[in-house]
Amino acid sequence: MSEVINVVGIGADGWQGLSARAREEVLGAEVLLGGARQLGLVPGTGAERVTWPSPMLPALPRLLGEHAGRRVCVLASGDPMFFGVGATLARILGPERLRVHPHPSSLSLACARLGWPAEEVEVVSLVGRPDSLLHPAVLPGRRVLVLSADGGTPARVAALLTARGYGASPMTVLSGLGSAAEARLTGTAGGWDHSGAPALNVVAVECLPDPGTAALPRVPGLPDDAFEHDGQLTKREVRAVTLSRLAPVPGELLWDVGAGAGSVAVEWMRTHPSCRAVAVESHPDRAARAARNAGALGVPGLEVVVGAAPGALAGLPAPDAVFVGGGATAPGLLDTCWDALRPGGRLVANAVTLESETVLAAWYGRHGGDLVRLTVGRASPVGGFTGWRTMMPVTIWSATKNATMNAVENAVENEEASGARGEELP
C-alpha cells in the first residue's frame, strides 16, 4: 500500500483537545485503528473501528494490508512519536508514509505541572519493560520521569529506590494528565504509603541518596564489589582501560567472550540505553551470575549464551566490538572473532599468562593495532604501615579491523616495491 496514513495523538482531554486539522483527519477516515481507550474518546463518524489486537506488533502488517486503498487514521496516546505507535509505524512503513498530528506528551504535561525543564529530565519507560531499567538513571540530583505500566508501578519504583539507598527521594505520581480528573500523589520513596494509583500515571522522581550511599555512574570502571562474582572478574582499573579501547557507540553490539561475571558487557550497555551485548560463558553458574549482575545494574537486556567459544559464537549477529577476556590460546578463537567483526569493528583481548601474551604479540605483529601492558598497584596495610600490593600484569591488545588491514596491506606493498628497487628495508 502507498497511501499516507494519518496518526493522530489524543490526550485524556479527548475530542475537545484535538486541533481542527486532527479532527478533520479523524472525521474523514474510512478506518480508525487504535486502542479501545483512544477509540472511545472520539465521536461516532461512520468509520470502521478496529481495536489493536494483542500482541499488536506482529499483526500490524496484516491489518494495514487488509485496509489498503482506504483512508486510514491511527489513534495514539499523546505524542505518537514519544514511546508510541507512530515510531513503530515509521520503522515499518517509512516516515514518508505517515502524517503525524501530535498531542502534548506525558513528558511535556508532567514537566509543565512540576516546573521542570524537559531537557533536564531523563525518561524511563516501564511499559512492557522490566523495572530494573530504572537503575542507571538513579544518580544523585537527577530528575527522572517514569512512564508507568500500571497502578502498581509507583510502589515498585519506591521499593527499588529504597533498596538502592535512595529512600529519601521525593516522588510525585501524576495521573489523568490533561483531563478533568487530573490528580497527584506525593511522598518519599522510603515512606511511600499510597496503596495504589490510577492505571494511567507517570512517576516523577528527584533522586536523593541516603547518607553513605555510593553513586554508580555510567562512566566505565564501577567498583569490583558492584558485581556478584567468584573472582573471575575483569578488575576495575583494567576494565576501564579495556572499555576505553572497545569504544562503545550508541546502538552497537558487543560480544563479551569468556564473560565471567559479565562486568565488561554490563558496563558497555550502561554507557547508552541502545548499546547491546552478548555475554558468552562456558560455565553455567557464571553465566547465571552475569545475568543477575545485568539485572541488578539496570541492563536486563544482556543476552547470555552458555557455551565454549569459538563454537558458541556460531549464529550470533555480527558484532561491532569483541572483547576476549580470557582463552586467547583456544584454537581458532581470535580468528573467529576477527572474521565476524563488522567493518570498522574493534577487537580487544586481554592476557595474563605468557602463553596467551605470546598469541597477542603474534596478532599484533600481523595486524598492528595497540599493545600495552598494564600493571596496577593498590595500597594496603603492611603491619602498622601502608605498602603497595601489585596485581598480575595484564597485556591488552586492541585493533580496529579496517584501519589495521589497510595498514598491513600498505606495509606489504611498500616492502614489495622497495625490494623491486633493490632498497634495503629498515
- For the domain 224-410, what is the CATH code? 3.40.50.150
**pTM as predicted:** 0.87
52-103 pLDDT, tens digit each? 998 888 888 888 889 988 999 999 999 999 999 999 999 999 999 999 999 9
- For the domain 5-103, what is the CATH code? 3.40.1010.10
Q: Whose CA is closest to 276, among 306, 256, 261?
A: 256
Which pLDDT score is estimated for 421?
36
Q: Whose CA is closest to 110, among 146, 154, 80?
A: 146
Residue 70 main-chain phi, psi, to 5 deg: -110, 160
Q: Whose CA is closest to 84, among 72, 97, 74, 70?
A: 74
- For the domain 107-206, what is the CATH code? 3.30.950.10
Tell me the residue ranges of DSSP E strands in 194-320: 201-206, 253-257, 276-281, 303-306
- Residue 306: which residues within 8 A CB-CB, separation 6 or more? 281, 282, 284, 287, 312
Residues of the chain with CATH 3.40.1010.10: 5-103
Torsion angle, CA of 211/213/214/216, rounded to 10 degrees? -130
List beta partners, residue 175: 183, 201
300-319 pLDDT, tens digit each? 999 999 999 999 999 999 99
- The DSSP result for 16-34, as a single string, is GGS-HHHHHHHHT-SEEEE
Answer for the pair 423, 388: CB distance below 8 angstroms, yes or no.
Answer: no
174-185 pLDDT, tens digit each? 999 999 899 999
Residues of the chain with CATH 3.30.950.10: 107-206
- Grid cell listed for 215: 553513586
Q: Whose CA is closest to 220, among 239, 234, 233?
A: 239
Torsion angle, CA of 93/96/100/104, rounded to 10 degrees? 90
Torsion angle, CA of 142/290/255/327, rounded to 10 degrees? 140
Q: How confident is the model at residue 160 (pLDDT cuts 50, 70, 90)?
A: very high
Quote the mean pLDDT of the chain. Answer: 92
Does pLDDT of 1 surpass 70?
no
Taking residues 127-133, report their average pLDDT: 95
Residues of the chain with CATH 3.40.50.150: 224-410
Give the residue, 196 or 73, on which the prediction is more confident: 73
Taking residues 381-398, report their average pLDDT: 95
CA dist., res. 173 & res. 205, Å (int): 9
